[in-house]
Structure 1
């Protein structure tokens, strides 16, 4: 073992010791700010996508050489683009317009232009010489978004992040946050983990000693692991997931609260390699029950349907040894279990102790029409599973995206935080990648707190975060813990920022901490975010 330190309706109507963060620097020497609706900062290159979420609209060979490699501000193709600009010092601005000719006493034509598909853009320039003051840009009357070219661009007036930012991606749109984990350590501090901060996709650990108010980088695991859960057991921390890119099920151990980790080293032994093959999961609960420790997994063989199974080991066994672990049978699914072959897959199962003290595996069901189905597989023994599609497919708000279920003995209820689907967002479209409407599996702009007495009948207790933007905003893959009267959570969060927009709601650029106070009580207001329709 090695020890390493670690179009529908909406847009058709519109157009018919804190952790180190990596956002653009605050307004200062040389910075140029833009404002507008859904503004992105991109780099112009021949062949590159011009507008966010529009893969078919690209720069061609007609792009002037002096614009190659320059950053520019732009919006969705349907929107007008940047509306105003200001700089901390005098500078030259270049504005590309398609259907509008600006006041040429202010914006001088350069005689240059370029095409985006069949749309011709003309280039204009203006000398900006009023530092600190906003300059309104010409309104685009017809045609797609204008493009403002300049250096050191950043987006102003972005919506506040609904929580405490633990970390964010170093390079926007080149990677995204995955595998959020959260633990309360024996000393009362919080430990959070995620992947995707950098291009190497290592596991980064962050620790808070002030109940989540501030966070510091704690360690970095340099072994390629994915789909992992970090959990405590008998005085140590373990991290169980799959090796990247192969997919073997592996386990790692830390004896110093996550500061250093023992990782598998195949050059010396197979210790830590539990099962060879290609497997899948997520940061899901690990549960001790009946003298064994349990975790859900799925197969991940290319070209085959994912099959659900569970792994378990005696609580007093050496968890680092493959011989300690048992594997259950693997259950296949039938798309016909939901009308129209709507049962697309089951994944990311939660091991839960049911009210009758039996063990079940509650799985996310991918179903793109309503997004509110989950499946309950009964665990009969370490080897045997049972599932009856007539009774074991249940309605669960947000059941179509990853969730974590935990039981609270005080309320005698099961709780979860889910990315529920609000009816008003179902099928919304724009002219780019969502031209046919956004399906429920990608609607992640509403985070809800839900509960159940029996795992089969769920109700929404409150909305925690809500955004008006299903295309770019995502509050998802939440891991959480009980903390007295509160519930604490880490969220894989996608939203606009000063550097621009994420690729889409799935591709989170932030790891965010959120405290839900007095979670057992009703009626606490939610955080409302407006990025599509800015106030």
Structure 2
């Protein structure tokens, strides 16, 4: 929410930072997550990336507005009135609260300094709150479970123009949110990409990701596969596939398949596994999974079943016509095959025509399209909904391409085919929920303050959105967020419905004990998450600003 300010007295603003025996990173959950109430108290929520291996100190910087004509002492204490309040629980799995403030107050893990001095003329002073190592580990599994500690600041002079305020500090262990499936430290000069997930007929989950190297990225061609037999709580490594990249896993006739190029902009291939991803067929010929010998691009986007056909959107990454190096080279297209056919046989697959980049689209602001979704619209027609690249300061859009029933013809009207969509510049996956009759997606939201960054590079906030008609989207829930837009990312999410819940995998850039990810893009984690009772959510205030 936006700050609301009342009264004419000088105000106190509290910012929180972290220093530790380890190289901890930190960040505000959201710089708008504070407000000034009618009583001029101030709440700010921030995450402390808590380390179990070293003492950690919270530094609270206190700023005073107006002129300071006298020395003023500021006392700090934990608010005794909140000792019976339950700790706020921010877990995605919504487990019951397990701690109360009284448990924290009874410990020695918090050392409260006495009085801190604002000298005459000074605008700022600092206080410190020590958190001992292992302080928060009792009965805690380290997931995104948060603890709120109220700290009261009181000035010694009633004329100090500083009001008593409460800083709400949210503690979280230095661990990626959700369940970690895979982790690659940045020092290996590799990063995790293209998360995909599907559910087997027996309820097992299969997840995959590709392995990207920054040394010679044009040769990237490796995918790793994992299996969970306990609803995502634990994961077992199944296989390494050489010759598979930017791919989607899916289930067809009870067996597991993976579909995508064999390397960066490589041939289109499909593989089959009958043992939960432990072994795979080899696409060495057109009757065994070699589908197209062209330069193919894509991402883990939906494989859907519609009108007796199997559909998946891809892009042709060949260099021709208006297409050259860059995102603008991608040509939108659709592939499909009849239900009941042998998916390993290339002769069963139909490929549509391709749609090239056109620099005149969106009044010259069109930067290209990629990573399309096969979606059956409310009219029963098959569409390809693509992510759209736009420049800094531009509204975000998605593109709606029409596909003929036989899968041979793709068509696009630039006057009606673009629609505004929050997160349209990021990779997204759209799926239809038969129960609610709504379309859902998980994508990245951009806050207004990021006016100097291209929308596609803002991936530190993940939201759940829904639509009744595939064109008008509403934000239902903020799922994950962090203030560090340059080093943190929850991105390229793939997901599935699982009863009342949604399960998803994320390519996650996040702080770790090795110094964190290379950047927001080059992720160090593959993480698994569950959204409980996703249909119960209502739209958020973010819908007022869906840029």
TM-score (norm 2): 0.64
**In structure 2, how many angstroms separate the alpha carbons of the residues matched to 1:257 and 1:222?**
13
Corresponding residue to 2:222 among 202, 211, 229: 202
Alpha carbons of structure 1 residues 37 and 476: separation in structure 2 relative to 1, 3 Å: closer
Which aligned pairs between 1:28-427 and structure 2 lie closer than 5 A? 33-35=21-23, 37=25, 159-169=174-184, 172=187, 174-196=189-211, 202-217=222-237, 219-245=238-264, 247-265=266-284, 271-302=288-319, 303=324, 305-339=329-363, 341-369=364-392, 370=394, 372-380=396-404, 381-427=406-452
How many residues align? The count is: 372
Offset at 1:272? 1.3
Q: Does 1:496 align with 2:511?
A: yes
Q: In 2, are the aligned partners of 1:180 and 1:492 still within 8 Å (CA)? A: yes
For residue 505 of structure 1, what is the aligned residue in structure 2?
A: 520
Secondary structure (helix, strand or coil) at the match of 1:424 reads coil
1:283-302 deviations in whole A, cap 9, x for unaligned?
A: 01011112211111111124
Q: In 2, are the aligned partners of 1:354 and 1:360 still within 8 Å (CA)? A: yes
Secondary structure (helix, strand or coil) at the match of 1:176 reads strand
Structure 2 gap segments, 5+ residues each: 1-14, 28-50, 56-171, 215-219, 542-547
Q: In 2, are the aligned partners of 1:38 and 1:501 still within 8 Å (CA)? A: no
Offset at 1:271? 2.6
Offset at 1:33? 4.7
Offset at 1:336? 2.2
Offset at 1:37? 4.7
**In structure 2, how many angstroms separate the alpha carbons of the residues matched to 1:525 and 1:494?**
25
Alpha carbons of structure 1 residues 311 and 261: separation in structure 2 relative to 1, 3 Å: same
Secondary structure (helix, strand or coil) at the match of 2:347 reads helix
Identify which range, 380-389 or 504-513, moves more after superposition.
380-389
**In structure 1, how many angstroms separate the alpha carbons of the residues matched to 2:499 and 2:304?**
20
Alpha carbons of structure 1 residues 497 and 322: separation in structure 2 relative to 1, 3 Å: same
Structure 1 gap segments, 5+ residues each: 1-13, 15-31, 40-83, 89-156, 428-437, 527-535
For residue 535 of structure 2, what is the aligned residue in structure 1?
A: 520
Alpha carbons of structure 1 residues 452 and 203: separation in structure 2 relative to 1, 3 Å: same
Secondary structure (helix, strand or coil) at the match of 1:182 reads strand
Alpha carbons of structure 1 residues 307 and 520: separation in structure 2 relative to 1, 3 Å: same
**In structure 1, how many angstroms separate the alpha carbons of the residues matched to 2:266 and 2:308?**
28
CA RMSD of aligned residues (A): 2.9
Offset at 1:372? 2.2
Alpha carbons of structure 1 residues 448 and 523: separation in structure 2 relative to 1, 3 Å: same
Alpha carbons of structure 1 residues 335 and 312: separation in structure 2 relative to 1, 3 Å: same
For residue 498 of structure 2, what is the aligned residue in structure 1?
A: 483
**In structure 2, how many angstroms separate the alpha carbons of the residues matched to 1:489 and 1:525?**
21
Higher relative contact order (CA 8 A, sep 6+): 1
Offset at 1:258? 1.6
Alpha carbons of structure 1 residues 499 and 158: separation in structure 2 relative to 1, 3 Å: farther
Identify which range, 489-498 or 286-295, moves more after superposition.
286-295
Alpha carbons of structure 1 residues 525 and 292: separation in structure 2 relative to 1, 3 Å: closer
Secondary structure (helix, strand or coil) at the match of 2:260 reads strand
Offset at 1:454? 0.3
For residue 469 of structure 1, what is the aligned residue in structure 2?
A: 484
**In structure 1, how many angstroms separate the alpha carbons of the residues matched to 2:295 and 2:212?**
24
1:245-303 deviations in whole A, cap 9, x for unaligned?
A: 5611111111122221102235xx76311111111011010111122111111111242
TM-score (norm 1): 0.65
Identify which range, 289-298 or 358-367, moves more after superposition.
289-298
Offset at 1:188? 1.0
**In structure 1, how many angstroms separate the alpha carbons of the residues matched to 2:287 and 2:267?**
11
Which aligned pairs between 1:436-451 and structure 2 lie closer than 5 A? 438-451=453-466
